[in-house]
Structure 1
């Protein structure tokens, strides 16, 4: 699906600027977001094609590193070509290592649903469809699960979206890093048609809505 979308995007990019490509929602800060007394913490999030998810979060202040990968299935199917029949159980996801003193878990969720993923969509984001493109929160401990469930309830109650929020909070299984050619894809391929049409607008929205949360240079 993404390969087809990339070809189509290449054909329309001249008519579609990043500012026109997607709408965004500026969401409030998480009300439940306890302080984490640690130098590093890890989050696993899914928001559709991992190229753009990684590309956005690598530009967030306090993020130390972002890695694209697969979550939800087995080691045997944790390969790009094995996830696209919709039967692997995997979602394209990212593993974010961050400094909790600079950016909180709640802030990562705020960014995810403000500019990266639509939490009202089931098994699709942007032009991509299938269970591998589902948005999902994958808490790694009880505190993250508490923040996640509270934030979904908070933004649902606030009616920031026209449709009900259906994004799942999934139990952590194992994160499998994606192939090398998928890592840091957005930074390495800024003129790719898919990136220009679907992912560059997300990064532009991050910089527009939350300028104080943007790094001077992307994290590795």
Structure 2
């Protein structure tokens, strides 16, 4: 959990294995990422599990929750990387992965994050992609950790499924 000197970012950008792997690679090893967990957010089902989320009936997205040190990496930098590492123009899809669980979303923690996420999303839409984005910017709500076998999946299974974000 975040302390007074850390912050939390919660992002959904498709298959959570690849999202976790890329964020750890980019911001790990002293670059600001202190911890990252894959899980489920944004839905209407309590205590969801992977099988239920994959049906698309829970409303949850596969997401990554990052604890980071804002003195080493800014929330803005995390969001800019988020927009570079996946396709935010496709609704409920990343490559061959299709369904609401693969949607693009920024789950914000507080008004400051929400305003910054909306501002960056607007800028990225107009200046980078020059089209509307499907990314949702919404308050984080309840977080549910994914099952343990999903945590650090690509670290434990280097030849595992390479998500489209990669």
Q: Please indicate, yes or no, whether the TM-score normalized by the shorter chain is above 0.5.
A: yes
Q: Show the counterpart of 2:22.
A: 56
- Which residue in the other structure is 1:169 paired with? 137
* 1:52-131 to 2 correspondences below 5 Å: 52-59=18-25, 60=27, 61-73=31-43, 74-76=45-47, 78-115=48-85, 117-131=86-100
Structural RMSD (CA): 1.4
**Equivalent residue in structure 1 for 2:102, among 108, 129, 133:** 133
The alignment's TM-score, normalised by the length of structure 1, stands at 0.68
Runs of 4+ displaced beyond 2 Å: none
Q: 101-110 or 167-176: which moved more?
A: 167-176
Counterpart in the other structure of 2:154: 186
Distance of 2:124 and 2:130 partners within structure 1: 11
Structure richer in helix, relative to its length: 1
Aligned to 1:157: 126
Which structure 2 segments of 5+ residues have no match? Answer: none
Q: Where in structure 1 are there 5+ consecutive unaligned residues?
A: 1-37, 203-220
* SS at 2:105 equivalent: strand
Q: TM-score if structure 2 supplies the norm length?
A: 0.90
* Structure whose residues are more often strand by fraction: 2
Q: For the pair shown, which has the larger CA radius of gyration, 1 or 2?
A: 1
Q: Distance in 1 between matches of 2:20 and 2:132?
A: 26
